[in-house]
Structure 1
Amino acid sequence: MGEAERGDTAPRLYVSYFCSSGHETRPAFAADAAVPAVWDCPRCGLPANNDAKNPPPPPKTEPYKTHLAYVKERRSDLEAATILSEALQSLRDRRARGEVIY
């Protein structure tokens, strides 16, 4: 089937986006569609915009934190020791009553 049998294609607009790694991406949009200001680079995944001389900076990524790191942010060492001693005393009391058998 040729173009004549299917009809004409919708008018398109090609827009250039530039990332901080120097990649250029040219996605096609419908001529009457709203063009986004930021586009993700398909090569490196960094954000890209229309300004070749001033591309957006890479996003800041925070290092992975463990569950323990988040707990230590919320609790001081004294609070942690108090909570641990209360939990151990509760466990010892339950064992003494026969509720926990270990």
Structure 2
Amino acid sequence: MTGGNAIRGTRVGSGPAISESERGETAPRKRVDYWCANGHRARPSFAVDAEVPEEWDCPRCGLPAGLDPQNPPAARRNEPYKSHLAYVKERRSDADGMAILEEALTKLKERQGR
């Protein structure tokens, strides 16, 4: 019994061949070389009239790659993971934290006293 998958056994492009006249002409393209700090070369293609970006992510290592092989861009600085508490400590001083704690404790004591 099948699992109900109607397109089982098919893949993209498995239909009848389509000629270029039916599909339309492809746009003229140019290939651009980008180099990362590890010496990897990436060669994406762009439309001839498209603006070429200064940087491209290297598909092998993920570092930024530039147009100049002798002077590739430096790696971006990765921010370490911060917990919610670390973000709160950036926004509030210790004195602010103590004031909020005292206020919360006062409210809690009032509720318990009733």
TM over 0.5: yes
User: Which of the residues 87, 92, 97 maps onto 1:70?
Assistant: 87
TM-score (norm 2): 0.71
2:65 and 2:47 mapped to 1: Cα distance? 20
Show CA shifts across 1:16-40 (max 9, x none): 0001121100111122222122111
Q: Following TM superposition, where does structure 1 have runs of at least 4 consecutive aligned residues deviating by more than 6 angstroms?
A: none
- What residue is the counterpart of 1:100 in the other structure? none
State the number of aligned residues: 95
Instruction: Please provide the CA RMSD for this pair.
Output: 2.0
CA distance, structure 2, for counterparts of residue 74 and residue 38 of structure 1: 34
Gaps of 5+ in 1: 98-102
Q: Mark the CA change 1:78 to 1:36 in structure 2 (over 3 Å): closer, same or farther.
A: closer
Q: TM-score when scaled to structure 1?
A: 0.78
Alpha-carbon spacing, 1:33–1:75, altered in 2? closer, same or farther (3 Å): closer
| 1:89 pairs with 2:106 | yes
